[in-house]
Amino acid sequence: MIEARGLTKRYGEKVAVDDLTFDVKPGMVTGFLGPNGAGKSTTMRMILGLDTPTSGSVTVDGQPYSRLAKPMQAVGALLEARAVHTSRSAYNHLRALAATHGISRTRVDDVIDMVGLQDVARKRAGGFSLGMGQRLGIASALLADPTTLILDEPVNGLDPEGIRWIRDLLRQFAAQGRAVFVSSHLMSEMALTAEHVIVIGRGRLMADMPMADLIAQASSNVVTVRAPQAAALAAALAGPDVTVTSSASDLLEVSGLTAAQIGEHARALDIALHELTPQQASLEEAFMEMTRDQIDYHAHATGRDHADAGDNSGSIA
C-alpha cells in the first residue's frame, strides 16, 4: 500500500509534482498516467526515497521508504528502461543482488523462470535486447518477493509479445494481493492493464478513479443512425433533451437517447434501420482532452486559487 499526502517536489522554479494525494491499494494494478514531463518518474523516485519531497509525504506500508526495515521485501521497483551495462551473466547479476540481501539461490532460479530468461540466464546481460533487459529488471524487482511493485513505463520499447507478457505478469501479481503501481503515457495500454487509474498533468492530480468509470466518462452519448426514412425518424425522436443532426439524407447523429430507445422509436414507426451505432470516444482522446485542459489552465490561470483547482480526487478535472 502506497499513501501519498500533499506530495510536492520543486526544482527551483519548476514544480514537478504538485500537491498529490492518492493511495495505491493492494490487490489491483493502479495505472499512473500522464504525458511526458507530467511528474510520474519524480513521484516514483520520491516513493522509493531517491528524491526528497519539498513538502508532503509518501509512505509504503505506513513507513517512509528510508525507514522500512526490509525495503526490498516491501517494494520492488523497475525505474526507466535502460540497458544493463555489465559483463556479468543475468544469473550472476541476480545472484550478487540476492547474496547482499540474504536471498536464496533457489529464489534466483525461481525469478529467472518467472520472467522467462532460462535460455539466456548464463549469457552476458550487457548484450541483452531491451526486452530481455526489461525482464532482467523485473526479475531484480521480484527477487525479494515484495508486496508492492513499482514500474516506470515498463512497456516502452517492447514488442507486442513483451507488452502482453508484462500485462499478464502485473495482473497476476495484483491477483496475489500485491499493490502494483505502473506508469505509462499511453492510455490505451493502461486501459488493458489497470483496474484503477491515477492521471496527472503538470504534476497535478487530474483523475483518481476505477478504470471502468474513466472509460464510461470518456464514452460520448452520440448514436449514429442510418435509415432510408431518416427525416421521419428525426421528427419522431425530437424532444427537449434530444439533439439530432444530419449530414446526409439517410444519416442521423442523435444525442440524448440510447441506441435501444432509438430502435424502439423506429420499430413503433415501422421504419427500417440500416445502422444503429453508439459512438465511443477513444480513451486516448479523453486523456488528451483531460491533460490539454490542464495545460490551458496553467497558461491562462493567473491569480486563481490553485488549491481549489487541484481538488479533483474522484473525478476528472
Ligand X SMILES: Nc1ncnc2c1ncn2[C@@H]1O[C@H](COP(=O)(O)OP(=O)(O)OP(=O)(O)O)[C@@H](O)[C@H]1O
Contacting residues toward ligand X, per CB under 6 A: 11, 14, 16, 34, 36-42, 185
**For residues 16 and 190, which CB has a smaller minimum distance to ligand X in the complex?**
16
- Identity of the residue numbered 182: V
Cα 21–chain centre separation: 16
**For residues 36 and 249, which CB has a smaller minimum distance to ligand X in the complex?**
36
Least Å from the CB of residue 20 to ligand X:
11
Closest CA to 225 of 215, 217, 237: 237
Residue ranges in the chain assigned as alpha helix (H): 40-47, 71-74, 90-100, 105-114, 130-142, 160-175, 187-193, 211-218, 230-237, 259-268, 283-300, 306-309
**For residues 12 and 314, which CB has a smaller minimum distance to ligand X in the complex?**
12
Least Å from the CB of residue 295 to ligand X:
12
Cα 163–chain centre separation: 14
Least Å from the CB of residue 71 to ligand X:
21
Q: How far apart are CA 70 and CA 91, in angstroms?
A: 23
Least Å from the CB of residue 243 to ligand X:
38
**For residues 49 and 116, which CB has a smaller minimum distance to ligand X in the complex?**
49
Q: Which three cell numbers stand for residue 17?
A: 509534482
Q: How far apart are CA 61 and CA 300, in angstroms?
A: 39
Least Å from the CB of residue 170 to ligand X:
18
**For residues 39 and 71, which CB has a smaller minimum distance to ligand X in the complex?**
39
